[in-house]
Amino acid sequence: MNCSKSTVLRAAARAAASAAGPAPARRSIFTATAAASSSSACTAARFTRPAAARAAPTVTQKRFVQTLDFGGSKETVWERSDFPKEKLAKIFANDTFAVLGYGTQGYAQSLNLRDNGLKVIVGVRKGGHSWEAAKKDGWVEGKTLFTIEEAADKGTVLMYLLSDAGQKQGWNTIKPYVKKGKTLYFSHGFSIVFHEQTGVVPPKDVDVILAAPKGSGATVRSLFLEGRGINSSVAIYQDASGQARERAFAMGVAIGSGYLYETTFEKEVHSDLVGERGILMGAIQGAFAAQYDVLRAKGHSPSEAYNETVEEATQSLYPLIAKNGMDWMYANCSTTARRGALDWAPKFYSATKPVFEELYARVEDGSETARSLEENSRPDYRERLEEELREIRESEMWRAGKTVRGLRPENQK
Ligand SMILES: NC(=O)c1ccc[n+]([C@@H]2O[C@H](COP(=O)([O-])OP(=O)(O)OC[C@H]3O[C@@H](n4cnc5c(N)ncnc54)[C@H](OP(=O)(O)O)[C@@H]3O)[C@@H](O)[C@H]2O)c1
């Protein structure tokens, strides 16, 4: 895209200057969390964990939940400031959080809960990758680190954070510990909504709730440590105690969220599966590759094709769109770029909408979850995955990308 860079820079500087103006009397609900939204699908992030745990940020209760206008629709949102640490301590005074699974979410949520002063134990398979990772993070065998069964027995809030395929495989082991008065917690609607495929059907006398961070566990942790918070959705599937709703929102904050919006288990899983297959990862890789291949077929160098497809998008335009919105982006690029983008956006809309409709239908009818369970339950799923990732990594476009990234001044020693 041929945006005038000086125009963009000047406008960005103006936006930054106006954002730095006098502090508003009351904090906008968006300021603390606007940058927090990201893919809900990144699992590789455990390798980029923030190194050290710091003290949890102090949060003072400012006010109660508010209803805001989201593009013309009114929605109620909850914020971290609605549940300061003292309030969390009261709500969960008699609870032990048993975090079952220590992938990227188990890691982040358990540490954030612990730093929020709550009683937390971790349950994972002994000797596995997660067992070692949990020990490295300070969980102590026999005190705060247990097998899945032991932790499920001791916990009052069972946080079912195994992989979604693992939740199906582990359900018969967990089920005897899901007893009256306990809370069963998820970060995805998958197992419950597609219970015909997973077999996960909780007893009626437990609360069943969900808090689903809209981003990788690494971001859940790093934003928390920065005193910010990820955006998460919250849902209640069963309210046996009559307190499930308050406890669900409180948990959303306790695990490190900045703001929370309400959904249902069904809507959460449908939107999440569409998002990660669509614009968050699947569609973007497909569209990047299609444009790159057309440019290459027309004789453009890999360097040019990559810069016009990925680098300019991720380094310049997407951060500006995240910060200021698409109308601002259109208003702050060259007149040539603006005219073309305005003309071509409807064509891309028409071309991709049927694909998104097909995707939603496959999510809704359970085809996508069935495929995910089948593929991710194979004993050799890691090897098969690595083969697919190797193909992407070794494609010309992403090899060119590696060279381009290496040329960024900050990546040169
Ligand atoms: N990843 C995200 O960014 C994200 C975002 C929002 C919500 N969620 C949801 O959060 C939940 C957890 O996801 P995650 O990404 O943190 O975890 P994950 O990487 O998908 O799962 C890893 C954990 O599951 C355990 N596990 C897998 N199969 C198992 C089995 N058969 N028996 C026992 N343990 C098993 C692993 O233990 P071992 O190390 O011993 O194999 C590990 O502790 C899922 O419901 C996911 O959809 C994820």
> What digits encode the pLDDT tens for the residues 60-105?
555 566 888 999 999 989 988 889 999 999 999 999 999 999 999 9
pLDDT exceeds cutoff 50 at 392 = yes
132 is in an annotated binding site: no
What is the rounded distance in angstroms from the CA atom of residue 340 to the CA atom of residue 335? Answer: 9
pLDDT exceeds cutoff 90 at 144 = yes
Q: Which of 47, 105, 124, 191 for a ligand 1 pocket mutation test, highest count of atoms within 8 Å of Cβ?
A: 105
Structure tokens belonging to residue 150 = 């032991």
What is the rounded distance in angstroms from the CA atom of residue 147 to the CA atom of residue 145? Answer: 7
What is the rounded distance in angstroms from the CA atom of residue 346 to the CA atom of residue 353? Answer: 10
State the average pLDDT over residues 256-275: 97
pLDDT, residue 62, reads: 52
State the average pLDDT over residues 346-372: 98
Pick the atom of ligand 1 nearest to 128's CA.
Answer: 40
pLDDT, residue 66, reads: 81
Q: Which of 161, 219, 378, 385 for a ligand 1 pocket mutation test, highest count of atoms within 8 Å of Cβ?
A: 161
pLDDT, residue 26, reads: 30
Taking CA atoms only, the protein residue closest to ligand 1 atom 7 is: 187
CA distances to 202, 291, 331, 348 from 334, rounded to whole Å, are: 57, 21, 8, 21
DSSP strand pairing (183-186 vs 97-100): unpaired
Average pLDDT of the chain, as a whole number: 87
Of the pLDDT bands very low, low, confident and very high (cuts 50, 70, 90), residue 40 is very low
State the average pLDDT over residues 329-347: 97
- pTM score, whole prediction: 0.85
Taking CA atoms only, the protein residue closest to ligand 1 atom 27 is: 166
**What does R_g of the chain's alpha carbons equal in angstroms?**
23
Taking CA atoms only, the protein residue closest to ligand 1 atom 17 is: 103
CA of 306 to the centre of ligand 1 (A): 33
pLDDT exceeds cutoff 70 at 389 = yes
pLDDT, residue 111, reads: 98
CA of 167 to the centre of ligand 1 (A): 8
pLDDT, tens digit (0-9, with 9 covering 90-100), for 80-90: 888 999 999 99
334 is in an annotated binding site: yes
Taking CA atoms only, the protein residue closest to ligand 1 atom 11 is: 161
187 is in an annotated binding site: no
State the average pLDDT over residues 187-194: 98
350 is in an annotated binding site: no
pLDDT exceeds cutoff 70 at 232 = yes
Of the pLDDT bands very low, low, confident and very high (cuts 50, 70, 90), residue 39 is very low
pLDDT, tens digit (0-9, with 9 covering 90-100), for 280-320: 999 999 999 999 999 999 999 999 999 999 999 999 999 99
- In the structure, which protein residues have their CB atom closer than 6 angstroms to any atom of ligand 1? 40-43, 101-106, 124-125, 128-130, 161-164, 166, 169-170, 187-188, 190, 212-213, 216-217
Taking CA atoms only, the protein residue closest to ligand 1 atom 30 is: 166
* Contact of 33 with 228, CB cutoff 8 Å: yes
CA of 301 to the centre of ligand 1 (A): 41
Which of 192, 154, 152 lies closest to 175 in space, CA to CA? 152
207 is in an annotated binding site: no
State the average pLDDT over residues 15-43: 33
The residue written with tokens 């900050």 in the block is 410
CA of 43 to the centre of ligand 1 (A): 8
Name the strand (E) or helix (H) holding 235: strand 230-238
* Contact of 256 with 32, CB cutoff 8 Å: no
Distance of CA 342 to the CA centre of its chain: 30
Q: Which of 135, 158, 163, 276 for a ligand 1 pocket mutation test, highest count of atoms within 8 Å of Cβ?
A: 163
188 as an active site residue: the answer is yes
Active-site hit among 129, 188, 195, 300: 188
pLDDT, tens digit (0-9, with 9 covering 90-100), for 400-413: 999 999 999 888 87
pLDDT, residue 2, reads: 45
CA of 162 to the centre of ligand 1 (A): 4
Taking CA atoms only, the protein residue closest to ligand 1 atom 13 is: 163
> Using CB atoms within 10 A of its CB, is residue 403 exposed (0-12), middle (13-18) or buried (19+)?
exposed
Of the pLDDT bands very low, low, confident and very high (cuts 50, 70, 90), residue 335 is very high
State the average pLDDT over residues 268-284: 97
CA of 22 to the centre of ligand 1 (A): 44
State the average pLDDT over residues 353-368: 98
Name the percent of the chain lying above pLDDT 70.
84
Taking CA atoms only, the protein residue closest to ligand 1 atom 3 is: 216
CA of 93 to the centre of ligand 1 (A): 27
pLDDT, tens digit (0-9, with 9 covering 90-100), for 106-140: 999 999 999 999 999 999 999 889 999 999 999 99
